[in-house]
Amino acid sequence: MGKKELKVAFLLALRSLQRGSRSSAILTVLIIGMCFTNMIFLPALFNGIGKTITEQIVDYEVGNVLVSPKSGDRYVTDLDATLDLINGMPGVERATPHISKGGTLTYRKKVLGATVRAIKPVDEKYVSPLYTKMIAGSYLGEDDTGEVIIGKPIAGDASVKEEDEFQASLGGVRVGDSISIDFGNGYVKDYRVKGIYYTGWTQADSAVYITWSDMQLVEGKTLDYADYITVKAKPGYSETFIKNELQQYGVSQKVQTTADLLSKSMGRALQSFAIINMVSLIVSIIITTVVLFIVITIKTLNSRRQIGILKAIGVDKGVIMHNYGFQVIILAILGILLGMVIAVLMAVYMQYHPIVTPEWSATLYLTPMDLVTNGLILFGAAIVAGYVPAYQVSREDIQTAMRS
Amino acid sequence: MIEIDDLRKIYVMGTVEVRALDGISLEIVKGEFVGIMGASGSGKTTLLHMLGLLDEPTSGKIVIDGTDIAGLGDYEKTMFRLYRLGYVFQDYALVPDLTVFENVALPAMLRRDRTEDETREHSYDILKKIGLYDRKDHLPRELSGGQQQRVSIARAMVNHPDILFADEPCANLDSENSRMVLELFKEINEDLGQTIVMVSHEDWHKDYFHRIVRLRDGKVVGDTAH
């Protein structure tokens, strides 16, 4: 097949699309565009969910690197020295300790069990954006005692009946109200609610935060230990770099990056997402292939006489086949571009209007590589779907084609 | 020159054999304007299809300018049709999505021995000759039947074929347009020495032919100079 033949095939294809049935061409482009959107939507949504969950885990649970007790230990001990060591390392923005305790919250006649997390509010600001999530009142101060901040789901809403609540709450706590916390060790204290926050991360929103000083009162001693330490990396420093550095410099605790933790806790969920993505991709490819196969088959069947005539005047079957092939290529390119535009617009829209569920909120997470990869897969499927009927009809003998 | 020797075409329909061509032998020399005439079902179109390499004979031999058609492969036949034969159909058979110019130029575009400029110039010349240059950017549906058939003739002539085949080119035309088309064939034949083989069942067309070959039941029943 020479350059001239390809040029003629392209001319025939272009003219057929320009001057043939416009509605058929537009419909085909729309179908391919929708197939592309379908192909990319579910994986992008799952990626978005995964990314949101990862970000929330980093922000509200483990930071970039988690230092937890080594095997057999209950706490990270020698806390001050460990914190000084970690905070002195290059690449570390800040390390901050956490200690949690179960507590029973009482507000008026409402009683609710919740996790009480003790933090060092100033250090915590460097590691977690919790302080930016206050929806009422204010964040904890470093030396606050007798004050708590609580998650919105725990605070509840006075206008919602108890039986209508999605999650048990204290029934409408407001800033300034007093709640009592029984820590189960005989220590019971009334706390003033300093602020109410909402992060969107269930575990954080279902907790109550007090200061490290208050937890020392609960424990009745100075705390030189913690359940774990969360470490925030400076921009440009990888989690692995920080982990290796901590281990090199003699942090004797267990050191794990977010990725280490997620590969265990999220591994199964991510595997499930990957399987669903694959099924969705295969279904989309099959639909696109079948649709294009039908469109091109109908087109070729309707043009059999014309194909016969082209052959009769000396047009080679290769030119005829490539004519339909080029039509599919043009339709596929337009459809894929349309699909890309739709997908990007949806991603932008969902940045501002994410899908929010009680468990997570999600946006569409799309990378240029996702768009290109899916585009190429769909393009390949379209070529196969278009060329098969084109090849079949181009092989038909002239008499049979002309008689149809 | 076309040499046809004992050409047969048998269609098998179930248990019935239909002898569309039954032992035809003919010679057509360069520059002749030959009319193949006969009643419907006499084998005229079948013969033209065999000569135009649009169908395979069951047996017999066709030699065009020394080339035995039986020895050509599929691609070679396509190239033979492109470079050496022209074909005019009863229903014009223009590509509806191409303009008049594009329809005419299409076979020339595929020739490897012509540049794009030559193809364009040559196509314009032919369109001027048939009086449709000013319609070159129109689509076939915007033309009358007679004009479409003239475009079809221009397309058949664009590659300077050795032989021009025409299968009842006036069947869909009124007598005025038919006459115009026949005059065009005559002019091409006389001016360019173009060999033309035309199928017709209209008796008055014989005035334009140099020679009339009459068929009946797939056999030559008359071969007269006119």
Question: Per residue in A203-225, pLDDT tens?
Answer: 899 999 999 999 999 999 889 99
Are the C-beta atoms of A109 and A200 separated by less than 8 Å? no
Could you give the 3-state DSSP secondary structure of residue A16?
Answer: helix
pLDDT digit string (tens) for chain B, length 226 residues: 899 999 999 998 888 888 999 999 999 999 999 999 999 889 999 999 999 999 999 999 999 999 999 889 999 999 999 999 999 998 888 999 999 999 999 999 998 888 889 999 999 999 998 889 999 999 999 999 989 999 999 999 999 899 999 999 988 888 888 898 899 889 989 988 999 999 998 888 888 999 999 999 999 999 998 7
A256: tokens are 């794990």
Domain boundaries defined on chain B: 28-59+73-225
Hey, which residues does A96 pair with through a beta bridge?
A230
- Taking every pair of Cα atoms in chain B, the longest distance, rounded to a whole number of angstroms, is 55
| Mean pLDDT, range A338-349, rounded to an integer | 94
CB environment A237-249: b (16+ within 10 A), e (fewer): bebebbbebbeee
What CATH number was assigned to the domain covering residues B28-59+73-225? 3.40.50.300
In angstroms, the CA A63 to CA A241 distance is: 14
Rounded distance, CA A218 to CA A148, Å? 13
Q: At what angle do helices A258-265 and A239-248 cross, to 10 degrees?
A: 110
Per the prediction, chain A carries an average pLDDT of 89
Query: Cα distance from A305 to chain B (closest Cα, Å)?
Result: 9
Residues in A closer than 8 angstroms to B95, CB to CB, are 12, 15, 306, 309-310
B112 touches chain A (CB under 8 A): yes
Chain B touched by A14 (CB under 8 Å): no
Please classify residue A81 by burial: count the beta carbons closer than 10 Å to its beta carbon, then call 0-12 exposed, 13-18 middle and 19+ buried: exposed
The reply to whether residue B54 touches residue A312, judged by beta carbons under 8 angstroms, is: yes
Q: Are strands A178-182 and A92-107 parallel, antiparallel or unpaired?
A: antiparallel
State pTM to two decimals: 0.77
- Read off the pLDDT of each residue in A14-21 and give the average, rounded to a whole number: 89
Q: Which of B11, B50, B106 to mutate to test the interface with A (most CBs of A within 10 A)?
A: B106
Query: In chain B, which residues have their Cβ closer than 8 Å to the Cβ of A403?
Result: none
Strand partners, B87: B165
What number of other Cβ atoms are within 10 A of residue A63's Cβ? 28
**If DSSP codes are grouped into helix, strand and coil, which group holds residue B136?**
coil
Please tell me the distance from the alpha carbon of residue B54 to that of residue B81, in angstroms, as a whole number.
9
**How far away is chain B from the Cα of A325, in angstroms, using its nearest Cα?**
17
Provide the pLDDT confidence category of residue A279 given band limits of 50, 70 and 90.
confident
CA A391/CA A319 separation, integer angstroms: 10
- Whether B106 contacts chain A with CB within 8 A: yes
3-class SS of residue A24: helix
